[in-house]
Amino acid sequence: MPSVRALASRYLLNPLTVNRALQALAEQGLLEARRGLGLYVTAGARQRLLESERRRFLDDEWPRLRERLRRLEIGAEQLSWEEQR
């Protein structure tokens, strides 16, 4: 990972904010600090993050979305996975 200073500069963020975000990622097991070498993405981090996002969607977002579809009387046959233009 780039350094805190490099990330803060690149994205115009406060270094403390960047540091907190990196700490949160480390606490989730997505980053690991290697003494004298910096931060590295842990093996399997992408898959764990994807699984976490899927779980959050299915537990939090999907029930609200399903209820809204029912309220608007939108059925599965009216939905398409393809982008409409």
Domain boundaries, the chain: 4-41, 45-73
**69 CB contacts (<8 Å, ≥6 apart)?**
75
**48 CB contacts (<8 Å, ≥6 apart)?**
28, 29, 30
The pLDDT value given to residue 85: 65
CA distance 12 to 5: 10
The pLDDT value given to residue 83: 75
Below-70 pLDDT ranges, the chain: 84-85
The pLDDT value given to residue 81: 82
For the full predicted model, state whether its pTM sits above 0.85: no
